[in-house]
Amino acid sequence: MKRILVAGGGIAGLSAAVFLSQKNNSVEIFEASSMPGGRARSFYDNHFGREIDNGQHLLMGCYRETLRFFQMIGANEGYYKQEQMSIPFVSERGYIQHLKSRTSLYPLNLLHAILDFGQLTLTERFRVGKLIASLWFLDLSKKKDIPVLKWLRNNNSGENELETLWKPLVVSTMNTPIESASFVIFANVLKEIFLKGSEGSKPVITRKGLSSLYVTSAIQYLKERSGKINFSEAVKGVVFQGDKITLIKTTKRELTPFDEVVFAIPPHALKRIEGIPERLPGGSLDFNYSTIITVFLKITNNPLKEELYSLVKSGIHWVFNHGDMLSAVISCADDWASLDSRKIIRRTKNEISKYLGVKEEEFTNAKVIKEKRATILSGVERGPKISLLNIAENAYIIGDWTIPNLPATIETGVLSARRLSNILL
């Protein structure tokens, strides 16, 4: 039995605590804020009379570790996976074409979906299919990285494919502009989604707020195994003796002794912990971040039939339909972040009305959430390539930014926790 301390109660810290609480280990989380879940959480909003997320999230069937984690903590009821991938792409004035597979037979499902995708011409569909298939045999470890846009241009992709398919795919999976996004990371994303079986490309849609979906169950799971979570208590410093951390200073107390320490916090926060930065290779935690904005719109007489829509060639990338509420997502939204909320709401309503035909007077309430450091950028110049890092004999760094060959997502947060538990258990 070990005493394990975890700094950070986002999905990486929570899943690490759950995994490590096996074998009678005693696990204790220290979370700086007053609520758990980090960037993937929800809260009750009085004006909407319901729970809303701090930002709309989309999960995919290729989030294998996340779905395993949900299963482990009994959070299965809070989401569902589409039986067959079916994503409506809507162009201005409401022309809808689905990216839809009609079979589970892999890889026919993918071939079929692309060849049937009416937003592209036949030539464009063949080119897209060929490009994705070419990744099958590509050894990415030997590939020099270039921006995704350059890769697409080198392969003769035209404007319509870029604007209709590639840009939305890059922006929504990597939260990074196509002009600077890393081809190697994007190719890994495409492999995960399309080239590892038929499940990967199926959207996983949440039925509840994220906190009700997994945070509450994770904490309950921990408590049943004598785990503990402390809120409003940040880790602010560490003391080393030789190659071991022997003392942790939080905003409330000093902690010792313990066997292992896990830091599950983003790089900008890690940088501020006294004693940590000088232990990192190169001493640097300098990443660039990218904004995601979610606009929540309460709606009466909702005419929409589908659960999500991709808006083609619009500043709004996705619209999710929650029945009594729509949530519109703008990724890579640094340009929008300086606009005031009223302007963002006006633009969003306008786009939704143009694309989906919802009358603006149907919206009765609106709320904008701007997350300026939603994720690190996954550019060719991504910043230090830090992976699950052993910074002392008894201390590890995990989190969504610690899997260098994939973008920062919920899945990389949980994957980093899984890799840590494989080492420690």
Q: Which of residues 283-312 bind ligand FAD (CB under 6 A)?
A: 292, 294
SS3 annotation, 266-309? CHHHHCCCECCHHHCHHHCCCCCEEEEEEEEEEECCCCCCCCEE
399 binds ligand FAD (CB under 6 A): yes
**50-53 and 42-45 beta bridge pairing:** antiparallel
Phi/psi at 318 (5° precision):
-135, 150
Among 78, 147, 168, 266, binds ligand FAD (CB under 6 A): 266
Among 131, 336, 413, 418, binds ligand FAD (CB under 6 A): 413
65 binds ligand FAD (CB under 6 A): no
Q: How far is the CB of 352 from ligand FAD (least distance, A)?
A: 18
Among 7, 187, 345, 420, binds ligand FAD (CB under 6 A): 7
Q: How far is the CB of 144 from ligand FAD (least distance, A)?
A: 27
> How many Cβ atoms are within 10 Å of 271's Cβ, its own excluded?
15
**H or E segment at 249?**
strand 244-250
Q: How far is the CB of 38 from ligand FAD (least distance, A)?
A: 2
- The answer to whether 386 and 187 have CB atoms below 8 angstroms apart is no
Binding-site size for ligand FAD (CB under 6 A) equals: 36
Stretch that binds ligand FAD, among 3-11, 92-100, 299-307, 357-365 (CB under 6 A): 3-11
Longest alpha-carbon distance in the chain: 66
Cis amide bond preceding 384, omega within 30: no
31 binds ligand FAD (CB under 6 A): yes
269 binds ligand FAD (CB under 6 A): yes
Exposed e or buried b per residue across 323-341, where buried means at least 16 C-beta atoms within 10 angstroms of its C-beta: eebbbbbbbbbeebeebee
11 binds ligand FAD (CB under 6 A): yes
Among 87, 189, 234, 308, binds ligand FAD (CB under 6 A): 234
**389-392 and 363-376 beta bridge pairing:** unpaired
Among 4, 5, 10, 113, binds ligand FAD (CB under 6 A): 10
Among 38, 78, 88, 147, binds ligand FAD (CB under 6 A): 38
Among 410, 415, 420, 424, binds ligand FAD (CB under 6 A): 410
Q: How far is the CB of 5 from ligand FAD (least distance, A)?
A: 10
Q: Which of residues 318-377 bind ligand FAD (CB under 6 A)?
A: 371, 374-375
Q: What's the length of the chain? A: 425
Among 20, 169, 171, 235, binds ligand FAD (CB under 6 A): 235
Give the DSSP per-residue string, 29-66: EE-SSSSSBTTS-EEEETTTTEEEESS---EETT-HHH
Give CA–CA dist 3/257, Å, rounded. 8
User: Which residues, other chains included, contact 81 with Cβ-Cβ below 8 Å and sequence gap of 6+?
Assistant: 61, 67, 199, 202, 203, 204, 205
264 binds ligand FAD (CB under 6 A): yes
- The answer to whether 366 and 328 have CB atoms below 8 angstroms apart is no
Among 40, 171, 178, 311, binds ligand FAD (CB under 6 A): 40
238 binds ligand FAD (CB under 6 A): no
33 binds ligand FAD (CB under 6 A): yes
What residues line the site for ligand FAD (CB under 6 A)? 7-13, 30-33, 38-40, 55, 57-58, 234-235, 264-266, 269, 273, 292, 294, 371, 374-375, 399-400, 408-411, 413
